[in-house]
Amino acid sequence: MKLVDKVCIVTGAGRGLGQGIALKLAKEGAKVVVADITEEATEDTVRMIKEAGGEATGVAVNIADYDQVQAMFAKVLEVYGDYDAIVNNAGINRDRMIHKMSVEEWQVVIDVDLTGTFYCVQEAVKYLREKGSGSIVNIASGSWLGNLGQANYAAAKAGVVGLTKTAARELAIKGVTCNAICPGFIKTDMTTSMPEAAWDRMMAKIPMGYAGEPEDVGNLVAFLVSDEARYITAEVINVGGGMIV
Ligand code: NAI
């Protein structure tokens, strides 16, 4: 187990990718803070971790609300007294072609995916700089390179990549790493809710021919927050079965 004695926060960990990441970190011995939009949304993941013999605490947070983000970190310090890593996974999409996209659809995705990630990075940075160690992993997306119907999402995720590389440069001297992961097409509510024809078109674009599982991303996160990855920072790593090149 690579992560014994580490405390790791995972946002959006109530389901999907975040849940897969949280379960993997717990399996490697981490104490996991399962953060999601409501306390209820965190319950399944917390129960699954505890049933498997791990340690987890659920915290309700809307990452797009700065006060709630501050309150989340305060709660983590109250419960565990410290933390080592944050995985900024919470995110949403509101897909529409640019000529039909409303300003609200643009703004809400920027608010959650980019500004929300910034709030969490900023609060973590303040603490981890002083601590002199730690890791930040931001879940971006292969869509940051541009994707039909995802101007809001692609812009937000490209912003997350810029934020990641800047944080990495600012934090390197403090012994803190910051990396981004770009999942390709992973089986979660975000993707399985799409029409069958769109799903089939996606499959055709994946050289490996199948959608990834949340654990495929969790395995990389577990490595990036482990001491074994101490010299890896400012990287953008694809987990996409060859889809993102
Ligand atoms: P999902 O929709 O299944 O789960 C997202 C989770 O984030 C939910 O539990 C939701 O309650 C939570 N959440 C949403 N807004 C929040 C907020 N304001 N504050 C706190 N929590 C919030 O999505 P999925 O597929 O698990 O995606 C997770 C991350 O991975 C997202 O950042 C997404 O953009 C990214 N991603 C997913 C891909 C995929 O193929 N599923 C591909 C590339 C990136």
Does any domain span residue 194? no
Q: What is the pTM of this model?
A: 0.98
Helices 16-27 and 214-224 cross at an angle (nearest 10°) of: 50
The predicted structure's pLDDT at residue 194: 86
Domains: count for the chain = 1
Specify the higher pLDDT residue, 192 or 26: 26
Two tokens, residue 26: 């717990």
Does any domain span residue 161? yes
Listed as own residue / partner, the contacts of 196-203 with beta carbons closer than 8 Å and 24 or more positions apart are none
pLDDT tens digits along 216-238? 999 999 999 999 999 999 999 99
Q: Residue 34 C-alpha to ligand 1 middle, in angstroms?
A: 13
Q: Is 193 in the pocket of ligand 1 (CB under 6 A)?
A: no
Please name the residue whose Cα sits nearest to atom 31 of ligand 1: 91
Does any domain span residue 203? no
Does any domain span residue 96? yes
Q: Is 180 in the pocket of ligand 1 (CB under 6 A)?
A: no
Residues 6+ apart with CB under 8 A from 44: 14, 15, 19
Burial class (CB in 10 A: 0-12, 13-18, 19+), 197: exposed
Does any domain span residue 134? yes
Q: Is 17 in the pocket of ligand 1 (CB under 6 A)?
A: yes
User: What's the CATH code of the domain at 174?
Assistant: 3.40.50.720
Does any domain span residue 201? no
Residues 6+ apart with CB under 8 A from 6: 29, 30, 31, 84, 85, 225
The Cα–Cα gap between 109 and 171 comes to 27
Residues designated catalytic: 153
The Cα–Cα gap between 123 and 25 comes to 21
The predicted structure's pLDDT at residue 57: 98
Map tokens 């069958």 to a residue: 196
Among 23-27, 28-32, 48-52, 187-191, the least confident range = 187-191
pLDDT higher than threshold 90 for residue 198: no
Domain limits for position 73: 7-184+217-239
pLDDT higher than threshold 90 for residue 187: yes
Does any domain span residue 32? yes
The predicted structure's pLDDT at residue 156: 99
Tell me the best of 9, 10, 11, 17 to mutate to test the pocket of ligand 1, counting ligand atoms within 8 Å of each CB and taking the most.
17
Mean pLDDT score of the chain, rounded to an integer?
97
pLDDT tens digits along 22-38? 999 999 999 999 999 99
The predicted structure's pLDDT at residue 190: 84
Bridge partners of residue 87, in order along the sequence: 10, 137
Does any domain span residue 205? no
pLDDT tens digits along 128-153? 999 999 999 999 999 999 999 999 99
Q: Is 11 in the pocket of ligand 1 (CB under 6 A)?
A: yes
Contact (CB, 8 A) for 39 and 62: no
Please name the residue whose Cα sits nearest to atom 8 of ligand 1: 12
Question: What is the separation, in whole angstroms, between the first and last Cα of the chain?
Answer: 32
Tell me the best of 43, 89, 147, 213 to mutate to test the pocket of ligand 1, counting ligand atoms within 8 Å of each CB and taking the most.
89
Q: What is the mean pLDDT of residues 56-76?
A: 98
What is the residue-wise DSSP string for 70-112? Answer: HHHHHHHHHHHS---EEEE-------B-GGG--HHHHHHHIII
The predicted structure's pLDDT at residue 245: 85
